[in-house]
Structure 1
Amino acid sequence: MNSVVRQLHEQGTDVVIVDTGNSYEGLCEYLGGKYISYTEECPITMNPFRINRQELNVEKTGFLKNLVLLIWKGSQGTVTKTEDRLIEQVITEYYDTYFNGFDGFTPPQREDLRKSLLIDERNKSGNRAESETELNARIETVIDEIERRRKELKVESLSFNTFYEFSVQRIPDICNENSITGIDISTYRYMMKDFYRGGNHDKTLNENMDSSLFDETFIVFEIDSIKDDPLLFPLVTLIIMDVFLQKMRIKKNRKVLVIEEAWKAIASPLMAEYIKFMYKTARKFWASVGVVTQEIQDIIGSEIVKEAIINNSDVVMLLDQSKFRERFDTIKAILGLTDVDCKKIFTINRLENKEGRSFFREVFIRRGTTSGVYGVEEPHECYMTYTTERAEKEALKLYKAELQCSHKEAIERYCADWDASGINKSLPFAQKVNAAGKVLNLHQPKTKQQ
């Protein structure tokens, strides 16, 4: 994947990666990209509610609805149609109040509300002794009270804080106006309050993301520190996806979003429709989305993955699958692989084709209906850029510190010494560097003849 995204970047593609294991730290540093790690002291923040009037559309409302429902219900929570519609209405009214204000019901709105309340009142028992005039007068009083409460609701600025304040007042009123029961407003308040002013995560949805990110061409969001948090992990993944969608619409060149293991956090029934929407929307803006996994069970064990991800992916890449050979029929069916594809897959790293070549690994790539097995062969400089092996990274840091040079220059000097050492593999050479604790200076550059 490092090789894939490096080549995409070299071809002028903007790359955004959501990672959970520092897999792209070296490449990001080499390319001078932006590496953003989530920490409690410095969380990844954004203000998804802060938009202009032109950005307010069905897509944005849908994203914010998913965001609110994710906080309220959790990634695996069940959402009723009533709850879904309720949050959508609150979001719509929130923005309408901010952009247009509320000066009172229009005559059609008032009449519609009057009819609705009248039907509810007539369906209630104990009101039959009341005259029509008295009933209408009482309903008008109720409408006046609803109108008064709506007028009191103000939205001075756009943020999660103001949405929370608006929603906790407006939801009970909507339920009363429409005789909706079964909405647990107490749980809603409790779950949402964690992201509100003074809560544990009050910065996450209330502080604007660095606007310079839109100009960056290689961005890595490292969220390994929250991968075990059942709420923050999918939430942060979701807001990063929204940042990509914004970038995707604004910039005219090709864009790609790569979601490493973090995609599992959003592969839930709640997020399925949003994932489908993102894939389909990406195609319209010369962008693509890729998910990466090391666990085959993730692919074969989820209908959400099949429907939302696999069915919308035109390119499939598989590494060595030999250990799954006995249970490959399920994978074959889900990925839509042919018998010919499978024969190719089981030749990966199995052929006698290594003689006279540098070290390489093989990968199966299917593009549409065309497939093949390709060798990925990278020079030492690329290997040292991609590596996540601790000993190798420490050795490279030693070169960089002692030579007081750039990351690129440190890699070049390190690899020149590695080549000169006669040691084939990187790890033994890195261990030799670390044991010496200094730059080895094995490679002596040629000097010009006088």
Structure 2
Amino acid sequence: MRNTAKAATLESKFPLLTVEDGYILSKDADLSVAYRVELPELFTVTSAEYEAMHSAWLKAIKVLPNYSVVHRQDWFIEEKYKPDLDRDDISFLSRSFEHHFNERPYLNHTSYLFLTKTTKDRARQQSNFNALTRGFIIPKEMQDKEAIQKFIEAVGQFERIINDSGFIRLTRITTDEIVGTGKEAGIVEKYFSLSQSDTTCLQDITLGAGKMKVGDNYLCLHTLSDTEDLPGKVQTDSRYERLSTDRSDCRLSFAAPVGVLLSCNHILNQYIFIDDHVENLKKFEKQARNMHSLSRYSRSNQINKEWIEDYLNEAHSYGLTSVRCHVNVMAWSEDKEDLSRIKNDVGSQLALMECKPRHNTVDTPTLFWAGIPGNAGDFPAEESFYTFIEQALCFFVAETNYRSSLSPFGIKMVDRLTGKPLHLDISDLPIKKGIISNRNKFVLGPSGSGKSFFTNHMVRQYYEQNAHVLLVDTGNSYEGLCNLIRQKTNGEDGVYFTYTEQNPISFNPFYTEDGIFDIEKRESIKTLILTLWKQEHERPSGSESVALSNAVNQYIGLITSNRSIVPCFDTFYEFVKNDYRHNMDKKKVREKDFDINNFLFILEPFYKGGEYDYLLNSDKELDLLNKRFIVFEIDAIKDNPVLFPVVTIILMEVFINKMRRLKGVRKVLLLEEAWKAIAKDSMANYLKYMFKTVRKYFGEAIVVTQEVDDIVHSPIVKEAIITNSDCKILLDQRKYMNKFDGIQSMLGLTDKERAQILSINMANNPNRKYKEVWIGLGGVQSAVYATEVSMCEYLTYTTEETEKLEVMRLAEKLDGDIELAIKQLADSKQNP
């Protein structure tokens, strides 16, 4: 009995015969090769780079033989962020970050390229004779071996040309990736499911002139298949006004409006059909003659004749290759009401490209079928229009959304367009790739630009990845984070040094937990005492240096052999006053060589009963070598001529000690505005030494500043910091718009980087609370990211006095539980 049902099996209509060695063979004997395409990130490409990419595609397509089809298929699928909460070591703040972005929608872009070799007859085939409309398909014989061999060789050349461009990466898709395996779906299955996730369950497909469904999804199709639909002029790229200023230019590819900027589920298909160029021109010559002979009967014939002659003149004058082209945008939604919104969105985006939006209700099934990977040979010829390769390539999407770094180490930032969290490595991976030669960072941003939030966010994640972090601050920016760390570690970590009248800052430079006093430790003690003894303009004589060195070494020998002596400045002072003086007398050291009485007199204020007796006699047995998070808050003492030099020497000694003794451990020294105070006179040498040397010890030095004048007028910044900081981080610079030429010159920024920086915070999403930050690596790689955090992180990082007090007062009511206070306060603010 004859089957009269309207339904047909996919097998009966399926146009592909087999896949072998990565080659797709259709039942009509078309041979196809599939590639995955990696593109540059959004907002990181200049006009010249778009031109270079266009040129690479042009060169590559010209190597393909006649009757080849180039099919770009770009998928843009709406997905939702899945938080990474499975780690055993996830911290309270990391967990709150992940929860904050849970189910955050974003558009995932996947790009494919299919190169197909077909025949002259197939290239002319129309929609009434493709695999979908025929009752059955008879497998044809393969094309001649010579043509196939030429195509395979051309494909190899095509791949090499594109990959050598440096902007685009083609990766050949294997047989298993095309047809799928028992566990993972292939690209053919994904196409029939309208999904890029691993789905091995195909859904029913309803094909009709007015309606097409795949599973529960309703499809709508917009096509560019006629020259009347096209703009008067196309170009490789266009100015993106929302992120451009009168001093900078943000560029996007010509097709970007229907690419990453179209926020709905859609597939963008672009076809270029390479016919016989000479034959095409002959056909147009014949048409022009016919139009000329009929021009007296119709003005339209006269106009068409002129158009054809213009086309022929262009082809002959500039040596352009005649090709056919087609572009379509296939969008879908489960909701019929939402589909009408999507139609309008697609149409408006096409209108932005100055194209005529043509909603095609008739050819959706045929064009869907031609979009099957490897089935471009089934494309209906009447849906294409004639153009040149150069113009056709302008419809290729040339950028993708932001990508996460393939590195275990890094920080979490956010995609500025969609708000999706990104894993970003700005330290290790760039060094491995040779983009930078050191991990040092220079951070510049005016007050209120979000510097403290970014640096808090960064050092918190460094700390959670086992880095040792030493911060020098002048504004209590890290107090909240340090307090939280101290509580979480039961006081074992999170050391906060600050000066108040009630609790003055104090250290014990003579204490070490392991009793080891290496050369660096001895030298730092000697430098510390020398600073207390001599004024800045005074230099010790040779005999004084020897005497001081001997005193330090003998005292260290005494405390290591006699554990009953408490190591501190008081016992050192007593040792010099008694034992060492006796030794000096025995050696008959002259007063002019070493005046021990003068030495003791000058150091007396630091001995018990003196004005600064608290400074170097801390009774807390605190060895900072093994503390991983230390903050020196020096705002109250930065102008004190006695306390400040001592504190800076101690903090530098702490970091140098970590740098040299902690092998294979990441170390971070972050200097907020405090660098200005440290960069005075003798301390400047420490800063220069640090920035030049720290890279050799798996460390990085970070300087944060907000004043442009600090950069311009400080030789330390210019010579030591900027020159030795391969990673530059800038926040909103609109306050410095008129001064930015000087900043650009000083930091050695390119025009591309300038445009990116001046676009910061220009088109922020009003529904999200974030501030943008520009990160540049060695002048090679740069992009703008968003610093967006959860409410718990906000309350931890905040520098607003009222918000900090709110957290601390609630913590006091909760028996000092800062974490619980932050949770409760965050909950009350989010759910008032």
TM-score when normalising by structure 2: 0.38
Query: What CA distance in whole angstroms lies between the structure 2 residues aligned with 1:242 and 1:267?
Result: 16
Q: How does 1:10-159 map to 2 (within 5 A)?
A: 10-31=464-485, 32=487, 33-49=494-510, 55-57=517-519, 59-60=520-521, 62-64=523-525, 66-72=527-533, 77-80=536-539, 83=540, 85=542, 88-98=545-555
Query: Given the superposition, is the C-alpha separation of residues 194 and 334 from structure 1 closer, same or farther in structure 2, using an over 3 Å criterion?
Result: farther
Which amino acid in the other structure matches residue 483 of structure 2?
E
| Higher mean C-alpha deviation, range 366-375 or range 329-338 | 329-338
Structure 1 residue 376 displacement after superposition: 0.7
Residue in structure 1 matched with residue 650 of structure 2 by the alignment? 239
Query: What CA distance in whole angstroms lies between the structure 2 residues aligned with 1:414 and 1:158?
Result: 45
Structure 1 residue 211 displacement after superposition: 2.8
Query: Given the superposition, is the C-alpha separation of residues 337 and 61 from structure 1 closer, same or farther in structure 2, using an over 3 Å criterion?
Result: farther
Which amino acid in the other structure matches residue 89 of structure 1?
V
Give the alignment's Cα RMSD to 1 decimal: 3.6
Contact 1:234–1:265 (CA under 8 A) maintained in structure 2: no
Structure 1 residue 99 displacement after superposition: 6.7
Which amino acid in the other structure matches residue 239 of structure 1?
I
Query: Given the superposition, is the C-alpha separation of residues 367 and 399 from structure 1 closer, same or farther in structure 2, using an over 3 Å criterion?
Result: same
Residue in structure 1 matched with residue 68 of structure 2 by the alignment? none
Query: What CA distance in whole angstroms lies between the structure 1 residues aligned with 2:642 and 2:609?
Result: 18
Can you give the 5+ residue segments of structure 1 that lack an aligned partner in the other structure?
102-155, 178-182, 422-450
Contact 2:573–2:607 (CA under 8 A) maintained in structure 1: no
Which amino acid in the other structure matches residue 776 of structure 2?
R
Query: What CA distance in whole angstroms lies between the structure 2 residues aligned with 1:194 and 1:354?
Result: 58
Contact 2:652–2:686 (CA under 8 A) maintained in structure 1: no
Contact 2:673–2:704 (CA under 8 A) maintained in structure 1: yes
Query: What CA distance in whole angstroms lies between the structure 2 residues aligned with 1:338 and 1:79?
Result: 45
Query: What CA distance in whole angstroms lies between the structure 1 residues aligned with 2:710 and 2:470?
Result: 22
Which amino acid in the other structure matches residue 471 of structure 2?
I
Structure 1 residue 382 displacement after superposition: 0.9
| Higher mean C-alpha deviation, range 302-311 or range 39-48 | 39-48
Residue in structure 1 matched with residue 791 of structure 2 by the alignment? 380
Query: What CA distance in whole angstroms lies between the structure 1 residues aligned with 2:749 and 2:590?
Result: 51
Residue in structure 1 matched with residue 770 of structure 2 by the alignment? 360
Residue in structure 1 matched with residue 800 of structure 2 by the alignment? 389
Correspondent of 2:700 among 281, 285, 288: 288
Residue in structure 1 matched with residue 735 of structure 2 by the alignment? 323
**SS in structure 2 at match of 1:78:** coil
Contact 2:792–2:822 (CA under 8 A) maintained in structure 1: yes
Query: What CA distance in whole angstroms lies between the structure 2 residues aligned with 1:73 and 1:275?
Result: 21
Structure 1 residue 374 displacement after superposition: 1.5
Which fold has the larger relative contact order, with Cα–Cα distance below 8 Å and residues 6 or more apart in sequence? 1
Structure 1 residue 53 displacement after superposition: 9.6
Correspondent of 1:268 among 680, 702, 716: 680
| Higher mean C-alpha deviation, range 59-68 or range 307-316 | 59-68
Correspondent of 2:757 among 345, 352, 363: 345
Query: What CA distance in whole angstroms lies between the structure 2 residues aligned with 1:315 and 1:84?
Result: 42
Query: Given the superposition, is the C-alpha separation of residues 190 and 296 from structure 1 closer, same or farther in structure 2, using an over 3 Å criterion?
Result: farther
Residue in structure 2 matched with residue 412 of structure 1 by the alignment? 823
Higher helix fraction (1 or 2): 1
Query: What CA distance in whole angstroms lies between the structure 2 residues aligned with 1:19 and 1:174?
Result: 45
Query: What CA distance in whole angstroms lies between the structure 1 residues aligned with 2:467 and 2:645?
Result: 26
**CA deviation vs aligned residue, 1:349-394 (integer Å, no higher than 9, x gap):** 12x2425x51110112223233222211111111111112222233
Q: How does 1:187-198 map to 2 (within 5 A)?
A: 191-198=602-609
Percent identical pairs in the alignment equals 41
Query: Given the superposition, is the C-alpha separation of residues 160 and 323 from structure 1 closer, same or farther in structure 2, using an over 3 Å criterion?
Result: same
Structure 1 residue 2 displacement after superposition: 0.9
Query: What CA distance in whole angstroms lies between the structure 2 residues aligned with 1:348 and 1:271?
Result: 35
Structure 1 residue 3 displacement after superposition: 0.8
Query: Given the superposition, is the C-alpha separation of residues 264 and 164 from structure 1 closer, same or farther in structure 2, using an over 3 Å criterion?
Result: farther
**CA deviation vs aligned residue, 1:293-326 (integer Å, no higher than 9, x gap):** 2223222222123333333323222222222232
**CA deviation vs aligned residue, 1:29-80 (integer Å, no higher than 9, x gap):** 22333333323454333343567996443x4465345434533455xx3345
Query: Given the superposition, is the C-alpha separation of residues 54 and 419 from structure 1 closer, same or farther in structure 2, using an over 3 Å criterion?
Result: closer
Contact 1:94–1:163 (CA under 8 A) maintained in structure 2: no
Query: What CA distance in whole angstroms lies between the structure 1 residues aligned with 2:545 and 2:533?
Result: 14
Query: What CA distance in whole angstroms lies between the structure 2 residues aligned with 1:206 and 1:410?
Result: 35
Query: Given the superposition, is the C-alpha separation of residues 364 and 91 from structure 1 closer, same or farther in structure 2, using an over 3 Å criterion?
Result: farther
Which amino acid in the other structure matches residue 361 of structure 1?
K
Query: What CA distance in whole angstroms lies between the structure 2 residues aligned with 1:176 and 1:394?
Result: 57
Structure 1 residue 189 displacement after superposition: 6.2
Query: Given the superposition, is the C-alpha separation of residues 336 and 90 from structure 1 closer, same or farther in structure 2, using an over 3 Å criterion?
Result: farther
Contact 1:65–1:87 (CA under 8 A) maintained in structure 2: no
Residue in structure 2 matched with residue 144 of structure 1 by the alignment? none
Contact 1:269–1:304 (CA under 8 A) maintained in structure 2: no
Query: Given the superposition, is the C-alpha separation of residues 214 and 311 from structure 1 closer, same or farther in structure 2, using an over 3 Å criterion?
Result: same
Query: What CA distance in whole angstroms lies between the structure 2 residues aligned with 1:6 and 1:326?
Result: 34
Which amino acid in the other structure matches residue 63 of structure 1?
S
Query: What CA distance in whole angstroms lies between the structure 1 residues aligned with 2:599 and 2:733?
Result: 45
Contact 1:237–1:262 (CA under 8 A) maintained in structure 2: no
Query: What CA distance in whole angstroms lies between the structure 1 residues aligned with 2:543 and 2:693?
Result: 25
Structure 1 residue 94 displacement after superposition: 2.3
Which amino acid in the other structure matches residue 91 of structure 1?
L
Structure 1 residue 254 displacement after superposition: 1.4
Query: Given the superposition, is the C-alpha separation of residues 412 and 158 from structure 1 closer, same or farther in structure 2, using an over 3 Å criterion?
Result: closer
Higher strand fraction (1 or 2): 2
**CA deviation vs aligned residue, 1:229-255 (integer Å, no higher than 9, x gap):** 133123212212212322344434212
Q: How does 1:422-441 map to 2 (within 5 A)?
A: none
Which amino acid in the other structure matches residue 37 of structure 1?
T
Which amino acid in the other structure matches residue 302 of structure 1?
S
Which amino acid in the other structure matches residue 362 of structure 1?
E
TM-score when normalising by structure 1: 0.67
Query: What CA distance in whole angstroms lies between the structure 2 residues aligned with 1:165 and 1:19?
Result: 35
Query: Given the superposition, is the C-alpha separation of residues 216 and 324 from structure 1 closer, same or farther in structure 2, using an over 3 Å criterion?
Result: same
Query: Given the superposition, is the C-alpha separation of residues 403 and 338 from structure 1 closer, same or farther in structure 2, using an over 3 Å criterion?
Result: same
Which amino acid in the other structure matches residue 607 of structure 2?
Y
**SS in structure 2 at match of 1:388:** coil
Q: How does 1:196-235 map to 2 (within 5 A)?
A: 196-207=607-618, 210-211=621-622, 213-235=624-646
